[in-house]
Amino acid sequence: MENLVCREMVWPDEIGTMLSIRNAIFPPICREDWLKFPSNTASMAFLDGIPIGAIPLDQRRFQVAPGKVIDTAFEHAVGTRADFRSRGVGGAMIDAAREFLAERAEALMVYRGAERSPGYRFYERSGHRDLVYMRTLSRPPGEVEPADVAVGGLDDCLAIQPELLRVFDAAFGDYGGFRPRAVGYWEMALAEMIFTVIAQDVLFVRYPAEGELQAYCIATVRTGDRATEQVSIMEIAGTSDDAVREVLRGVCAEGAARNWPVSTIACVDSPWRMLMREIGFEEGLRHTMIMGRPIAPARLFAKVCADLDAVAELKINVWSPSYDHTIWEGPEAKREITIEGKELLLNRMLMRRVDVASALASDLLTIANEEPGDRDRLAAALPYVPWEYHWIDWT
């Protein structure tokens, strides 16, 4: 499209201009609320100087594996003016974001659902690939065994953040797939823009009711214009299955008292899926995914690699039908190999989401100029990591 210019939004001068595009499509947010989040930016499209598209970008840290944290930009509320859709504007804004974020982030990412939808296909066309799949679990209102829990609200949750961190780390210390947790995370997360766009009251369920925390559940109930008759589990963690079972019973009792269902979204590797089904949650087909596209693959590899010594003597390239990059050149590099695969496999590999040894053994990934031991070296460098998604991270 002639005279189309895509670039980063000028902060703060163009916030109002960006919001004029966003708010015409999505539930509105005001400039004052946007100004509370200086890490947010946007890719914008202008035709002859007139704004016609915007992709808000939430720059955030993301835990790929234990101790392996990368910088990302999560896309959300992607919109193009109705009379310019399906004309390549969205893809051009993604390309612009790749350029202006290349020194700040290792990957573009998005929370996305509806695999058969035009919106999902847009992200596929722009190079994003599925990194993890989640499915809904929902329990209809009904009787539930009593539990030794206490139920409070937002203040009760924030008052014990060091304890939340201890329990979260016990549950998910071997996982990735979420924003890194630290004291202060929950205060920040529960004040994020999504809670301004969609007003929600917080329910905090803890086990036991008194004494040392063993499990907790942060849930919300939507209020205001977008109110729904549902209790939504935002995050649940515990030091044992028995402890998690208690808080699940507690939050289900809250749903039953309102005659509302309790719902959440969980990954295939979620440690609590079977517990939820045991107490009456009904599991749906996969519903949502995290999609990602590396934009600084060499820096990404260096940040997520589990064993740099294993590949110290290698220069490593990746090749797919649509791109090729050098992702690593070891300090003692003596030879060069190229890992070949489709974008889905390579993107997942760089996010520690592929069992590399199995993928190589089954011809899903191949190695050019391979020598004995290379498969073991790559498997040591990029071992598979289970991910769990927590709804509290949604943007």
Q: What are the DSSP E strand ranges found in the chain?
A: 4-8, 40-47, 50-65, 68-75, 79-80, 107-113, 129-139, 150-152, 200-207, 215-222, 231-238, 262-267, 282-294, 314-319, 324-329, 335-340, 366-368
pTM for the predicted model, two decimal places = 0.95
Do residues 148 and 255 both lie within one domain? yes
pLDDT in tens, 250-271: 999 999 999 999 999 999 999 9
Distance (Å, whole) CA 308 – CA 317: 15
Tokens, residue 108: 């573009």
Rounded Cα distance between 222 and 234, Å, is 12
Report mean pLDDT in 10-residue bins for the chain, 395 residues: 94 96 93 94 97 97 98 95 91 97 97 93 95 97 93 98 98 98 97 92 97 98 92 98 97 97 95 95 94 98 98 98 96 97 98 98 98 98 97 94
Are 363 and 43 in contact by the 8 Å Cβ rule? The answer is: no
132 located within any domain: no
| 277 in any annotated domain | no
Please indicate, yes or no, whether residues 160 and 252 belong to a single structural domain of this protein. Answer: yes
Q: Which of 105, 121, 149 delimits the end of a domain?
A: 105
Query: Is the domain of 83 the same as that of 151?
Result: no
DSSP assignment string, 32-87: HHHTT-TTEEEEEEEETTEEEEEEEEEEEEEEEETTEEEEEEEE-S-EE-GGGTTS
Pairing of strands 231-238, 262-267: parallel
What 3-state DSSP class applies to 7?
Answer: strand
Task: Indicate whether 249 and 302 sit together in one domain.
Answer: no
Q: Are strands 282-294 and 107-113 parallel, antiparallel or unpaired?
A: antiparallel
Confirm whether 271 is domain-assigned: no
- Which residues does 392 contact at the CB level (< 8 Å), separation at least 6? 186, 189, 190, 218, 234, 235
Nearest to 351 by CA among 167, 177, 166: 177
Residues 308 and 253 in one domain: no
Tokens matching residue 181:
């947790």
Domain boundary (61, 80, 105) is at 105
At 323 the pLDDT is: 93
* 252 plus 148 within the same structural domain: yes
Residues 185 and 89 in one domain: no
Domain assignment of residue 391, yes or no: no
The CATH number of the domain holding residue 343 is 3.30.1050
Contacts with 292 (C-beta within 8 Å, 6 or more apart), sequence order:
72, 107, 108, 109, 110, 128, 129, 131, 347, 351
Contacts of 387 (CB under 8 A, 6+ apart): 131, 132, 175, 176, 177, 178, 267, 269, 290, 353
Contact between 44 and 54 under an 8 Å Cβ cutoff? The reply is yes
Same domain, 97 and 148: no
Residue 76 confidence (pLDDT) = 93
CATH of the domain at 27: 3.40.630.30
Q: How many residues does the chain have?
A: 395
CA–CA gap between residue 318 and residue 337 (Å, rounded):
9
Classify residue 256: in a domain, yes or no. yes
Q: Do 354 and 386 form a contact (C-beta atoms < 8 A)? A: no
Phi/psi of residue 306, each to 5°?
-85, -20
C-alpha distances (whole Å) from 375 to each of 15, 112, 271, 369 are 49, 33, 30, 12
Both 254 and 299 in one domain: the answer is no
Q: Are 246 and 319 found together in one domain?
A: no
Beta bridge partners of 267: 134
81 found inside a domain: yes
**Could you give the angle at the alpha carbon of 123 between the alpha carbons of 122 and 127, nearest 5°?**
120
- Total domains in the fold of the chain: 3
Q: Does any domain span residue 201? A: yes
- What is the CA 95 to chain-centroid distance, rounded? 21
**pLDDT at residue 86 in the model:** 87
Sequential DSSP letters for 175-221: -BSBPPP-TTHHHHHTTSHHHHHS-EEEEEEEESSSSS--EEEEEEE
Order of strands, sheet of 314-319, starting from the edge strand that comes earlier in the sequence = 324-329, 314-319, 335-340, 366-368
Q: Which of 61, 90, 105 is the last residue of a domain?
A: 105
* Same domain as 161, residue 100: no
Range of the domain at 370: 293-381
At residue 213, the pLDDT reads: 98
Tell whether 84 is covered by a domain.
yes
73 - beta bridge partners?
A: 59, 108
Q: Is there a single domain that holds both residue 221 and residue 301?
A: no
